[in-house]
Chain A
Amino acid sequence: MNPIGLVTRVRPEPGLKPDETVLEIENLKTHFFTAGGVVRAVDGVSYAVCSGETLGVVGESGCGKSVTALSVLRLVASPPGRIVGGAIRFAGRNLLDLTEREMEAIRGNDISMIFQEPMTSLNPLMTVGRQISEAIALHQGLSRHEAFVQAVEMLRRVHIPEAERRVHAYPHQLSGGMRQRVMIAMALSCGPRVLIADEPTTALDVTIQAQILDLMRELQDRLGTAIILITHDLGVVAENADRVVVMYAGRKVEEASAKALFESPGHPYTLGLLGSIPNLEVAAQTNTRRVRLSEIKGMVPSLADLPKGCTFAPRCGFATDECNAQYPPLVQHRPGHWVSCWHADRLLGGSS
């Protein structure tokens, strides 16, 4: 009955695509209909994730990375939000065609999600043991007692000390790192094939972040779960993702293997992002303090009022008339390396 602990998996060569695609998002469009106009939060995004793979999704606040994930589970508040186009394929079915009831059987069972702030996503009035066993009992048809026993086992697997005692604790009695472990235990309790982790470590301190990411990798290796890791932290992506999708203003602007993305980014936005983070190694080794970070000027445009043409053009150092006139198509420049920019060749040109 226990889905955990049986499968051992050899981690594929990073960048190489393992064969089995588990989840595929195709030209997804999620719009919000507000008094101020239509907000195109997600405007034609496609990506796929394979079993055992970690796909990093990066972008700044408001780029649509979380709304894409919520759309997969059909959790976008409606109204004002609505999925107006596209398909989400999972196990041969389009999730957008399912009834709410069929969707309930998938949520938390085949596809589960970890949210950023564990305090607001756990029920403060229930012990963590009950919250975990509720999902297990519901999806796997176990009795309450059996489910509870398994909840203890899950807590042990996420390395919570004294699991037998903690299972009776309420969320407020646990620290932030522990709560996030409980969230992970809950998300993995039914052995999902896809785990969506939306900023899973953003609210945590770095030493705790390292523990949690380590734990996610360990469980993935054991279970072969596909992970969609949504984050704004490029360091977290570099160290955990196999492939990366970069989003800007509701669209995917670049997709590449982690290696290609960090070594030769093809989109000026990706290049700008990489330049604007202080790098621990570089910062420490430059004794002259006056190293300016290469900033991206301006700010993200309002999604209700996007510029014509490329949405990044107003902030882009490479922008030409062409960019202001028309949005660039997503083109595959190298195997597996897709960029949506009229000048991608100039960026990719030098390196090979």
Chain B
Amino acid sequence: MSAQSSGQARGSGPAALLEVQDLKKHFPLYKGVFSRVSGQVYAVDGVSFHIDRGETLGLVGESGCGKSTVGRTLLKLLEPTEGRIIVRGEDITDADAAGMLPYRRQMQMIYQDPYASLNPRMSAGEIVGEPLIIHRAANPKERRERVLHLFERVGLRPELADSYPHEFSGGQRQRIGIARALALSPELIVSDEPVSALDVSIQAQIINLLMDLQDEFKLSYLFVAHDLAVVEHISDRVAVMYLGRIVETTGKTSLFETPLHPYTEALLSAVPIPKYGARERKRVILTGDVPSPINPPPGCHFHTRCPYAMARCRREAPTLREMLPGHWVSCHLHERGAIYPLAKPPGE
């Protein structure tokens, strides 16, 4: 299953910058005096995808679905439990810290919280220049030049390089975080909810900046977020996650126009649309909460909340299958090449 489902969408060849195969990350739960392992949190439970050069893959889902863990595991900030991570054809799954060093230059990260992700005791310029020191990529003079250039590029006044994080607003701090991620000219940036802590008007500035930078440096993004509208805006392809698994992945147009997974359908219809008259649209309102990833339901993880659930869904986990060109879905409703018509998506 894993080998096939990694080759999804847009005819990925050997050119894929990053390929993830059947990635799993389980966190053990300890209990008692002897710290016996009493269970596992199945945070990521078999996820496969690829990202091409210059492409943005959006990873969307609700809190606790494992989307952030995917981002962290593929940068090996967390050790994967199972599966393979392949960068430009090289398997980095078992690389140690030293072996990872060259890959870290190519893969950087932007964090959600612009307050917690900057060291308050370092000036903005030191923060942006630190990756250059760690990777011995520049002498002090070059470093200073590079930092000032990066400041300008992300829309910060270079004279602010000696200010400390507390002197910046949330949006400006996020720009510092972006400049730091760009310092080593990476090819892939994993951005974990980069705009969700920001106000609407600032959010637009940062999204525009990320798109401009992508054009300029031919960056690839893994864009992790819970806001479907933001993800749709910035991504070429979108993968929807639910309880540790990808349930559907496709180009954004077909995701919106023909969601094939009942969860995607519900997610789309729950997003409030800032347009008068949108309230009249038909909604699919899910009942209940997301189950715990400690004891995920058997079979299809979504069956407890799925309005279409059948007996089979409780027993057997569906696998991702390509139902339309480039459109992969993991649901028993669509059987033997026939697509089950879900209710019309919102806005139609």
Instruction: Name A residues whose Cβ lies closer than 8 Å to a Cβ of B.
Output: 60-61, 161, 175, 177-178, 205-211, 213-214, 232-240, 258-259, 261-263, 272-281, 283-285, 287, 289-297, 299-300
Can you list the 7 inter-chain pairs with the closest CB atoms, starting with the nearest?
Answer: A235-B272, A284-B256, A276-B204, A278-B233, A210-B270, A296-B201, A205-B62
**Which residue on B lies nearest to A287, using beta carbons?**
B253
Q: A273-B200, A278-B233, A299-B202 are in contact. Are A234 and B274 (CB under 8 A)?
A: yes
Please report the C-alpha to C-alpha distance between residue A285 and residue B236 in the assembled complex, in whole angstroms: 12
| Contact B276–A238 (Cβ < 8 Å) | yes
Please report the C-alpha to C-alpha distance between residue A296 and residue B271 in the assembled complex, in whole angstroms: 23
- Asked if B19 is at the interface of the complex by the 8 Å CB criterion, the answer is no
Tell me the interface secondary structure of chain A in the complex. helix
| Contact A205–B63 (Cβ < 8 Å) | yes
| Contact A208–B289 (Cβ < 8 Å) | yes
Q: A208-B289, A240-B279, A276-B200 are in contact. Are A262 and B205 (CB under 8 A)?
A: no
Most buried by A among B199, B201, B230, B288: B201
Give a binary string over B244-268; 1 marks a CB under 8 Å from any A CB, 0 the rest: 0000000011011100000000111
- Can you show 21 pairs from A to B with CB atoms below 8 A apart? A206-B228, A206-B270, A207-B266, A211-B287, A234-B274, A238-B273, A239-B272, A240-B279, A258-B276, A277-B203, A277-B229, A278-B233, A279-B275, A280-B228, A285-B253, A285-B256, A291-B233, A293-B204, A295-B205, A296-B204, A299-B169
Instruction: Determine how close the nearest CB of chain A comes to the CB of B194; give it in whole angstroms.
Output: 13
Question: Which residues from chain A contact B171 at a C-beta distance below 8 Å?
Answer: 299
- Asked if B211 is at the interface of the complex by the 8 Å CB criterion, the answer is yes
Q: A177-B289, A293-B207 are in contact. List 12 more A-B contacts (CB 8 A).
A: A60-B201, A178-B289, A205-B62, A238-B274, A240-B272, A277-B203, A278-B233, A279-B273, A284-B255, A284-B257, A296-B201, A297-B205
Contact of B274 among A259, A262, A285 (CB under 8 A): A262
| Contact A262–B275 (Cβ < 8 Å) | yes
Please report the C-alpha to C-alpha distance between residue A209 and residue B232 in the assembled complex, in whole angstroms: 19
- Asked if B290 is at the interface of the complex by the 8 Å CB criterion, the answer is yes
Q: A175-B289, A278-B207, A279-B274 are in contact. Are A284 and B232 (CB under 8 A)?
A: yes
Question: Which residues from chain A contact B271 at a C-beta distance below 8 Å?
Answer: 206, 235, 280
Please report the C-alpha to C-alpha distance between residue A232 and residue B227 in the assembled complex, in whole angstroms: 14
**Which residue on A lies nearest to B202, using beta carbons?**
A299
**Which residue on A lies nearest to B292, using beta carbons?**
A175
Instruction: Determine how close the nearest CB of chain B comes to the CB of A300; give it in whole angstroms.
Output: 8
Please report the C-alpha to C-alpha distance between residue A34 and residue B290 in the assembled complex, in whole angstroms: 44
Q: A177-B289, A279-B229 are in contact. Are A289 and B207 (CB under 8 A)?
A: no
| Contact B202–A207 (Cβ < 8 Å) | no
| Contact B226–A206 (Cβ < 8 Å) | yes
- Asked if B215 is at the interface of the complex by the 8 Å CB criterion, the answer is yes
Question: Which residues from chain B contact A299 at a C-beta distance below 8 Å?
Answer: 169, 171, 201-202
- Asked if B140 is at the interface of the complex by the 8 Å CB criterion, the answer is no
Instruction: Name B residues whose Cβ lies closer than 8 Å to a Cβ of A.
Output: 56, 62-63, 169, 171, 199-205, 207-208, 211, 215, 226, 228-230, 232-234, 236, 252-253, 255-257, 266-279, 283, 285-290, 347
| Contact A272–B278 (Cβ < 8 Å) | no
| Contact B256–A61 (Cβ < 8 Å) | no
| Contact B201–A272 (Cβ < 8 Å) | yes
Contact of A277 among B200, B228, B256 (CB under 8 A): B200
| Contact B208–A293 (Cβ < 8 Å) | yes
| Contact A278–B230 (Cβ < 8 Å) | yes
Instruction: Determine how close the nearest CB of chain B comes to the CB of A67; give it in whole angstroms.
Output: 16
Q: A60-B199, A283-B252, A284-B257 are in contact. Are A206 and B267 (CB under 8 A)?
A: yes
Most buried by A among B266, B276, B283, B289: B276
| Contact A295–B230 (Cβ < 8 Å) | no
Please report the C-alpha to C-alpha distance between residue A222 and residue B330 in the assembled complex, in whole angstroms: 40
Question: Which residues from chain A contact B228 at a C-beta distance below 8 Å?
Answer: 206, 280
Most buried by B among A210, A279, A300: A210
| Contact A238–B232 (Cβ < 8 Å) | no
Please report the C-alpha to C-alpha distance between residue A284 and residue B270 in the assembled complex, in whole angstroms: 16
Please report the C-alpha to C-alpha distance between residue A291 and residue B288 in the assembled complex, in whole angstroms: 36
**Which residue on A lies nearest to B252, using beta carbons?**
A284
**Which residue on B lies nearest to A178, using beta carbons?**
B289
**Which residue on A lies nearest to B288, using beta carbons?**
A161
| Contact B273–A278 (Cβ < 8 Å) | no
Question: Which residues from chain A contact B276 at a C-beta distance below 8 Å?
Answer: 238, 258-259, 261-263
| Contact B256–A295 (Cβ < 8 Å) | no
Please report the C-alpha to C-alpha distance between residue A289 and residue B347 in the assembled complex, in whole angstroms: 21
| Contact A276–B201 (Cβ < 8 Å) | yes
Please report the C-alpha to C-alpha distance between residue A275 and residue B207 in the assembled complex, in whole angstroms: 13
Question: Which residues from chain A contact B207 at a C-beta distance below 8 Å?
Answer: 278, 293
Contact of B285 among A210, A281, A292, A296 (CB under 8 A): A210
Contact of B201 among A233, A273, A280 (CB under 8 A): A273
Please report the C-alpha to C-alpha distance between residue A292 and residue B288 in the assembled complex, in whole angstroms: 37
**Which residue on A lies nearest to B201, using beta carbons?**
A296
**Which residue on B lies nearest to A296, using beta carbons?**
B201
Instruction: Determine how close the nearest CB of chain A comes to the CB of B206; give it in whole angstroms.
Output: 9
| Contact A239–B279 (Cβ < 8 Å) | yes
Instruction: Determine how close the nearest CB of chain B comes to the CB of A8; give it in whole angstroms.
Output: 20
**Which residue on A lies nearest to B236, using beta carbons?**
A289
Instruction: Determine how close the nearest CB of chain A comes to the CB of B258; give it in whole angstroms.
Output: 11
Instruction: Determine how close the nearest CB of chain B comes to the CB of A224; give it in whole angstroms.
Output: 19
Question: Which residues from chain A contact B56 at a C-beta distance below 8 Å?
Answer: 289
Please report the C-alpha to C-alpha distance between residue A60 and residue B199 in the assembled complex, in whole angstroms: 6
Instruction: Determine how close the nearest CB of chain B comes to the CB of A274; give it in whole angstroms.
Output: 7
| Contact A210–B236 (Cβ < 8 Å) | no
Please report the C-alpha to C-alpha distance between residue A299 and residue B285 in the assembled complex, in whole angstroms: 36
Question: Which residues from chain A contact B226 at a C-beta distance below 8 Å?
Answer: 205-206
Q: A293-B208, A296-B204 are in contact. Are A207 and B270 (CB under 8 A)?
A: yes
| Contact B272–A281 (Cβ < 8 Å) | no
Instruction: Determine how close the nearest CB of chain A comes to the CB of B271; give it in whole angstroms.
Output: 6
Question: Which residues from chain A contact B233 at a C-beta distance below 8 Å?
Answer: 278, 283, 291, 293
Most buried by B among A272, A275, A289, A294: A289
| Contact B208–A278 (Cβ < 8 Å) | no
Please report the C-alpha to C-alpha distance between residue A259 and residue B275 in the assembled complex, in whole angstroms: 8
Question: Which residues from chain A contact B205 at a C-beta distance below 8 Å?
Answer: 295-297
